[in-house]
């Protein structure tokens, strides 16, 4: 490989490949490689940041670049090895001719940076490989519905689906963080023998790596270059009330009035889907919502903020469909029907990658919701949801779905963030079902999607929330009790709901939501459209599950409200440093080897250790206390750290310890 220095960049050229390495952020490097004539110019998740000064040296057919604690050495064959303060942390996997190190002279002909041309275009299928490191543990990567906090040994699809959120930033216990800066559909395999990142279609290899002394420092470096969440307002840190679905403004007001009558503070009430005439009309059905402004005014007088659900899908019978279709504002299909979504309608989703489409959708929501005083928007189906996840059949303004689709939820959220900012709003929160690297800077509150109402699913959500925090998303929540399958008459489900509520008190947002069985409530209308025809779930308010459950939830809501000053401090920290509110044990105690293997308890900020009850009929559990002094907040007993204790956990109690 032939090396040169251009400005602050290290360049390498070999046959058709151009390699570029730059200092990019604190203790970090950005690596790009292409076999096209030049680089694309897309910064993707690194938008808004730029290279910085670095130390570059060229010597004897090799080259190196240093930025603070991280450095990269490139040998004559073009193989990159990364070091943290002169200790190797990551090395490209290379098994081919021409190398100088033992494993590089090989007949296997496997190279680290592999470009497979896609016929007829300038895109490639990409594979990038790194050596496996014995004893390595890998965390982050967003939200996957499985039971693993440590992603080492896992194969992860790099694609957005309902309840799967692909955010390709990984934190290693070896002292580095790695961002795959590419929105293409693909996968990553964190194998024992090697790691492989794959993109179905892309112009170039693009990744970013940081090395630092702690997970907190790595997340700080990462969010410096991808953006940080704004400050979350205090008046959304209490209870959110939602169900599937409030069908009329009368139902919404009845619920809010009862909370007020019972003396229970309610911060947010949420109006879920099919309050509209048709998907893509983005308005209230006037038959069931005759005076939205009066409804909102009354809710505001009670101190309740109002959130309304917005979907990206546009029914062919919508009043906006033809104009959007003619103007090219919808996602395109490569073959067959133009339909992309088929839930209760023949729909095509709007193309959030098209700035004109974003302006159009916000304009409708501004006119039909915001002007009535609606405070916040629930951006559902934000992946976007497809009838079939056939990514090779869809095309966006920015290109084929296989090449760019993972960035869709970020731009969907940006639609409403930009619109509200243009209206002068500063306290913005959008509830959204998916995200990508950098979504946090657009006030994205990500929830874990339409998950099952089971203890198994509950355990998976804990893994999801912790890994989302490490991937740069500090605002995360779940549907308390899970979304589907919970029967309000089943004592086993009520037990799950209580345990989930207790856990949710110690998450960024406390939100009652779910589609509750049985579905025996008749529709309001026999029409096949409008706000009255679709089914709804059973009541899902705090008082809906019996007096015992009600009293337990009241107790924990009181605890939540008492935590508001602490929550504000955590939100400020997230805004300033990118720190998650829900933190893995090793995030706070990186020097404690045991903490790197614990996945059933976590730190809520730096003060509270939370040990949720994750199994049915469980009334006690083991809790590991790291070094220090810990107070059980339930009984006031104090314990010296460095030990595992057995902790009582009756149905009205979740084990929580205060770090003294």
Same domain flag for 217 and 255: no
Question: What are 340-386's pLDDT values in tens digits?
Answer: 999 999 999 999 999 999 999 999 999 999 999 999 999 999 999 99
The secondary element (H helix, E strand) that includes residue 394 is strand 394-396
Same domain flag for 357 and 415: yes
Sign of the torsion formed by the C-alpha atoms of 294, 297, 301 and 305 = positive
Scanning 179-291, the segments in alpha helix (DSSP H) are 215-226, 249-261
Q: Which residues contact 492 (CB under 8 A, 6 or more apart)?
A: 616
With a pLDDT cut of 90, the percent of the chain lying above it is: 96
Scanning 435-546, the segments in alpha helix (DSSP H) are 455-470, 491-505
Please give the residue range of the domain that contains residue 651.
584-659
Alpha-carbon distance 594 to 647, whole Å? Answer: 19
**pTM metric for this prediction:** 0.97
The secondary element (H helix, E strand) that includes residue 408 is helix 408-422
Q: ∠ CA 6-179-47 to the nearest 5 degrees? A: 60
Pair 342, 387: CB distance under 8 Å? yes
Closest CA to 509 of 435, 432, 425, 450: 432
Cα–Cα distances in Å, from 184 out to 41, 72, 349, 358?
A: 16, 26, 19, 21
Same domain flag for 494 and 564: yes
Pair 439, 160: CB distance under 8 Å? no
Same domain flag for 321 and 376: yes
Q: Look at residue 101 in the predicted model and tell me its pLDDT.
A: 53
Cα–Cα distances in Å, from 269 out to 413, 484, 515, 569?
A: 20, 20, 16, 24
Same domain flag for 156 and 297: no
Q: Is the pLDDT of residue 104 over 60?
A: no
Q: Look at residue 121 in the predicted model and tell me its pLDDT.
A: 85
Mark which of 554, 577, 600 sits at the end of a domain: 577
Residue spans of beta strands (DSSP E) within 24-150: 28-34, 55-59, 62-67, 70-74, 80-84, 87-91, 113-117, 124-131, 138-143
Alpha-carbon distance 586 to 532, whole Å? Answer: 50
Same domain flag for 499 and 536: yes
Cα–Cα distances in Å, from 14 out to 122, 129, 658?
A: 18, 18, 57
Same domain flag for 17 and 143: yes
Average pLDDT over residues 101-129: 86
324 backbone dihedrals φ, ψ, rounded to 5°: -65, -40
Pair 441, 414: CB distance under 8 Å? no
By annotation, the residues acting in catalysis are: 380, 383, 450
Overall number of domains in the chain: 3
Alpha-carbon distance 302 to 405, whole Å? Answer: 41
Same domain flag for 446 and 518: yes
177 backbone dihedrals φ, ψ, rounded to 5°: -120, 140
Mark which of 174, 202, 226 sits at the end of a domain: 226
Alpha-carbon distance 564 to 183, whole Å? Answer: 36
CATH number of the domain within which 185 lies: 2.60.40.1760
Alpha-carbon distance 436 to 426, whole Å? Answer: 22
Alpha-carbon distance 77 to 100, whole Å? Answer: 8
CATH number of the domain within which 590 lies: 2.60.40.1180
Q: Look at residue 455 in the predicted model and tell me its pLDDT.
A: 98
Closest CA to 319 of 280, 273, 366: 280
- The rounded Cα 301 to chain-centroid distance in angstroms is 33
Q: Look at residue 100 in the predicted model and tell me its pLDDT.
A: 47
Same domain flag for 413 and 484: yes
What is the pairing mode between strands 268-271 and 239-241?
parallel
Q: Which residues contact 300 (CB under 8 A, 6 or more apart)?
A: 306, 373
Same domain flag for 540 and 630: no
CATH number of the domain within which 261 lies: 3.20.20.80
> How does DSSP assign 568-595, residue by residue?
HHHHHHHHHH---SEE-HHHH-TT-GGG
| Phi-psi map region of 486: left, alpha, beta (phi>0 left; psi -120 to 50 alpha) | beta
Q: Is the pLDDT of residue 654 over 90?
A: yes
Q: Look at residue 107 in the predicted model and tell me its pLDDT.
A: 86
Question: What are 127-149's pLDDT values in tens digits?
Answer: 999 999 999 999 999 999 999 99
The secondary element (H helix, E strand) that includes residue 293 is helix 292-301
What is the pLDDT confidence band of residue 96, given thresholds at 50, 70 and 90?
confident
Q: Is the pLDDT of residue 175 over 90?
A: yes
What is the pairing mode between strands 205-211 and 313-315?
unpaired
Alpha-carbon distance 473 to 127, whole Å? Answer: 27
Average pLDDT over residues 291-309: 98
ω into 518 cis (within 30 of 0):
yes
Question: What are 552-591's pLDDT values in tens digits?
Answer: 999 999 999 999 999 999 999 999 999 999 999 999 999 9
Same domain flag for 239 and 210: no
Q: Look at residue 106 in the predicted model and tell me its pLDDT.
A: 72
Same domain flag for 305 and 169: no
Alpha-carbon distance 589 to 609, whole Å? Answer: 12
The residues facing 350 across adjacent strands are 330
Residue spans of beta strands (DSSP E) within 279-380: 305-310, 313-315, 332-333, 347-349, 376-379
Exposure of 36 in the CB half-sphere (CA atoms within 13 A) = 14
Q: How many CB atoms lie within 10 A of CB 582?
A: 24
Question: What are 227-283's pLDDT values in tens digits?
Answer: 999 999 999 999 999 999 999 999 999 999 999 999 999 999 999 999 999 999 999
Q: Is the pLDDT of residue 98 over 70?
A: no
What is the pairing mode between strands 87-91 and 80-84?
antiparallel
Mark which of 577, 608, 638 sits at the end of a domain: 577
Residue spans of beta strands (DSSP E) within 144-248: 155-158, 165-172, 176-180, 186-190, 194-202, 205-211, 239-241
Q: Is the pLDDT of residue 111 over 60?
A: yes
Question: What are 18-54's pLDDT values in tens digits?
Answer: 999 999 999 999 999 999 999 999 999 998 889 999 9
Alpha-carbon distance 309 to 306, whole Å? Answer: 10
């Amino acid at each position: 490989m032939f090396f040169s220095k251009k400005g602050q960049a290290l360049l390498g050229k070999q046959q058709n490949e151009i390699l570029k390495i730059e200092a990019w952020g604190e203790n970090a490097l950005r690596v790009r490689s292409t076999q096209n004539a030049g680089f694309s110019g897309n910064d993707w998740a690194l938008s808004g940041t730029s290279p910085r000064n670095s130390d570059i040296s060229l010597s004897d057919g090799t080259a190196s670049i240093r930025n603070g604690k991280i450095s990269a050495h490139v040998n004559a064959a073009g193989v990159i090895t990364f070091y943290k303060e002169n200790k190797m942390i990551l090395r490209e996997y290379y098994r081919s001719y021409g190398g100088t190190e033992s494993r590089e002279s090989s007949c296997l002909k496997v190279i680290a940076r592999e470009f497979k041309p896609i016929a007829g275009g300038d895109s490639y299928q990409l594979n990038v490989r790194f050596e496996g490191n014995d004893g390595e543990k890998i965390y982050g990567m967003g939200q996957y519905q499985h039971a693993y906090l440590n992603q080492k040994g896992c194969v992860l699809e790099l694609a957005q689906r309902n309840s799967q959120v692909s955010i390709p930033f990984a934190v290693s216990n070896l002292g580095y963080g790695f961002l795959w800066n590419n929105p293409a559909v693909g996968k990553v395999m964190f194998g024992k023998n090697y790691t492989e990142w794959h993109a179905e279609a892309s112009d170039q290899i693009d990744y970013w790596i940081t090395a630092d002394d702690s997970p907190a420092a790595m997340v700080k470096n990462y969010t410096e270059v991808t953006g940080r969440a704004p400050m979350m307002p205090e008046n959304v840190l209490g209870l959110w009330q939602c169900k599937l679905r409030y069908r009329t403004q009368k139902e919404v007001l009845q619920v809010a009035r009862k909370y007020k009558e019972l003396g229970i503070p309610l911060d947010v009430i949420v109006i879920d889907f099919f309050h509209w005439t048709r998907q893509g009309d983005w308005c209230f059905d006037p038959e069931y919502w005759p005076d939205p402004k009066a409804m909102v005014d009354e809710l505001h007088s009670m101190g309740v903020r109002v959130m309304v659900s917005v979907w990206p899908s546009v029914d062919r019978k919508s009043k906006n469909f033809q104009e959007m279709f003619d103007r090219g504002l919808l996602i395109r299909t490569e073959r067959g029907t133009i339909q992309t979504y088929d839930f209760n309608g023949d729909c095509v989703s709007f193309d959030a990658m098209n700035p004109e489409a974003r302006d159009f959708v916000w304009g409708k929501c501004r006119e039909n919701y915001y002007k009535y005083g609606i405070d916040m928007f629930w951006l559902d189906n934000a992946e976007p949801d497809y009838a079939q996840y056939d990514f090779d059949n869809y095309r966006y303004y920015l290109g084929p779905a296989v090449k760019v689709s993972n960035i869709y939820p970020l731009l969907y959220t940006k639609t409403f963030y930009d619109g509200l900012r243009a209206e002068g709003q500063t306290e913005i929160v959008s509830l959204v079902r998916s995200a990508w690297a950098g979504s946090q800077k657009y006030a994205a509150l990500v929830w874990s999607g339409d998950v099952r109402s089971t203890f198994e699913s509950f355990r998976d959500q804990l893994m999801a929330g912790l890994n989302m925090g490490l991937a740069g998303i500090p605002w995360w929540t779940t549907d308390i009790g899970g979304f589907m399958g919970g029967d309000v008459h089943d004592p086993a489900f009520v037990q799950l709901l209580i345990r989930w509520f207790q856990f949710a008190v110690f998450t960024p947002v406390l939100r009652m939501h779910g589609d509750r069985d049985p579905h025996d409530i008749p529709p309001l209308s026999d029409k096949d459209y409008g706000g009255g025809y679709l089914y709804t779930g059973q009541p899902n308010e705090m008082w809906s599950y019996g007096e015992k459950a009600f009293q337990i939830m009241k107790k924990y809501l009181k605890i939540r409200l008492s935590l508001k000053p602490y929550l504000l401090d955590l939100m400020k920290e997230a805004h300033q440093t990118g720190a998650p509110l829900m933190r893995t044990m090793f995030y706070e105690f990186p020097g404690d080897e045991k903490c790197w293997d614990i996945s059933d308890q976590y730190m809520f900020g730096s003060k509270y250790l939370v040990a949720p009850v994750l199994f049915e009929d469980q009334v006690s559990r083991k809790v590991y206390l790291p070094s220090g002094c810990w107070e059980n907040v339930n009984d006031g007993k104090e314990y010296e750290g460095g030990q595992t204790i057995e902790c009582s956990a009756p149905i009205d109690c979740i084990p929580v310890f205060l770090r003294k």
